[in-house]
A and B are shown apart, each in its own frame.
Chain A
Amino acid sequence: MRRLPALGDAFAGDPGADRIVPPSGFTARLTQFTAAAMAFLAVFALALSLAAGRLADHWGEALARTATVRISAPEGQMATQTDAVLAVLATTPGIAGARLIPEDEQRALLAPWFGPDLPVESLPLPRLVEITETAEGMDAEALRLRLSGEAPGAVLDDHTRWRRPLVEAAGRLRLLGWLSIGLIGATMAAMIALSANAALAANARVIEVLRLVGARDTFIARAFVRRFTRRALEGAAIGTAAGMVAVAVLPGDGAGPGVLTGLGFRGLDWLLPLALPLIAAGVAFGATRLTAMRVLKGIT
């Protein structure tokens, strides 16, 4: 908690204390550029992470709540087995509803592959029953056993086999996004620490004079910390703004759950990148302060 007032000082500024360190145009631009570039990348990592999160939630929700029963029976038994399946489903705990998919809807599902004029009635297509589960969910294994007894041609597909890897992939993509943000922050901290180290080395004489006249380490460190924190804040603000504009103009309808078409911010998500400049300033504050205090300990 002792650091909070000092972080406030970094933004409040002190013109007198600021002037004790000579201006250094190169390191100033370098720090600002680093912060801007890192903030720009962080905006994309954040957008990716949020999009992957939405995808994982969407697929996970669908996985948890829907299943399909496919009935492949000889022509004479199709209606009987379909009725048997619907009857079993109607009495199975955990199932909120079961809907026999009509033939025209099946035709629509197949249309992208076979064209709109597909004579569904003349093909030996299986019948499909869409199941919607309750929040508690059903016992898939128990249902399979009952279906094998009542309708031997019915196969329960609870989507687990193909949906779960997708959900896991989306979850990992989300994790990767957050990991990228962490790495971007750590890289920025390292680069600012290097810049601060160079600035402290270049101003060794200034530091010696200040120690000579009775300046405490915190006073000297503050002069450097304030400067680097401000540069990081300014740079990160520019980078964040540029990143948000770039995300906003990305092509895509923004409505779908896909990573590519859904990459971006929705609603209040747009507020999240606004925290990046403050986080960058905090990172710069910590990195510079740690560097300065370490270097100052080596000077009497």
Chain B
Amino acid sequence: MIELEDVSHSYGGGELLSGISLKLEPGSFHFLTGPSGAGKSTLLKLCYAELTPSRGRVRLFGAELGGMDRDAVARTRRRIGVVHQDCQFLDHLPLSENISLPLLAAGRDVAAEAGNLKELMAWVGLEAQAGSLPPQLSGGERQRAALARAVIMAPDVILADEPTGNVDWEMSLRILQLLIELNRMGKAILVATHDLNLIRAAKAHVAARVLRIKGRQLLLAGADL
């Protein structure tokens, strides 16, 4: 579904990632770890075409990123759910409208999908917060809402950038559980995190591959993870 082949990315004259190859298949679960500033977020951005590689090839659902126009990139992003650490909500819209934003952007009838939206909000435990504005929510609620927005289009791939970065351990496990449920539905999951305890907790429930960015290269993590 998403394939990076010998990809490098340069920023500000220096190479941040070098010779990265990665393939996300249906039903796969990957963790991406490494120290802060190693390039985890950059690698995720390459996966959903917010960044383009300075070298190498990125294929999204069989199509070369280099040959895609802006509309094609937009349509492809509807098949990729992204959860950011800072959630990226529109603060002037109630939570329910933020979560249904991908439907609106795709030209779908939001009113007709009100039932699905309600079900989704119940799944992430935010039914009562539907009318709240994003700044009124706690960190954990915002992360779960971001996850709900990421999956509302029933994407094939979920990319999560430090989804538990701002929440306590109990909430981290709850978000992890939601990601595992999505993976069991056949979604490909890629989670960038520096939380090794979260990775260990996940490996107790799912066959996850752990990748580490070290020295601009992508390596398979050791057996300790």
Contact = CB atoms under 8 A, between A and B. Distances in A.
Contacts of A199: none
B71 A216 contact: yes
B219 interface: no
A300 B50 contact: yes
B75 interface: yes
B95 interface: no
Interface in B180-207: none
B69 to A, nearest CB: 10
A20 B71 contact: no
Given A20-B104, A206-B90, A212 B50 contact: yes
Nearest to B70: A217
Nearest to A14: B104
B101 A20 contact: yes
B106 to A, nearest CB: 6
Contacts of B50: 212, 300
A214 B88 contact: no
Size bracket of the B interface: 20 to 34
Contacts of A146: none
A214 B77 contact: yes
Contacts of B88: 205, 208-209, 212
B70 A219 contact: no
A61 B13 CA distance: 75
B92 interface: yes
Given A16-B110, A19-B97, A300-B51, A211 B74 contact: yes
A17 interface: yes
Nearest to B87: A209
Interface string B36-73: 00000000000011111000000000000000001100
Which among B48, B82, B84, B101 has the greatest number of chain A C-beta atoms within 10 A?
A: B101
A5 interface: no
Given A16-B110, A17-B104, A215 B92 contact: no
Interface string B88-103: 1110110001000110
Interface in A181-233: 205-206, 208-217, 219
A22 B71 contact: no
B93 A213 contact: no
B153 interface: yes
B78 A214 contact: yes
A300 B97 CA distance: 23
A217 B105 CA distance: 10
Contacts of A206: 90
B115 interface: no
A211 B82 CA distance: 12
Contact of A219 (B49, B52, B105): B105
B149 interface: yes
Contacts of B12: none
A209 B104 contact: no
B92 A213 contact: no
25 contacts: A16-B104, A20-B93, A22-B90, A22-B92, A23-B92, A209-B88, A209-B89, A209-B90, A209-B101, A210-B101, A212-B48, A213-B78, A213-B101, A213-B105, A213-B149, A214-B75, A214-B78, A216-B70, A216-B71, A217-B74, A219-B105, A219-B107, A300-B49, A300-B50, A300-B51
3 A-B pairs with least C-beta separation: A215-B105, A214-B78, A214-B77
Interface of A: 16-17, 19-20, 22-23, 205-206, 208-217, 219, 297, 300
Given A16-B110, A213-B78, A219-B105, 8 more contacts: A17-B104, A20-B101, A212-B77, A214-B76, A216-B75, A216-B105, A297-B70, A300-B52
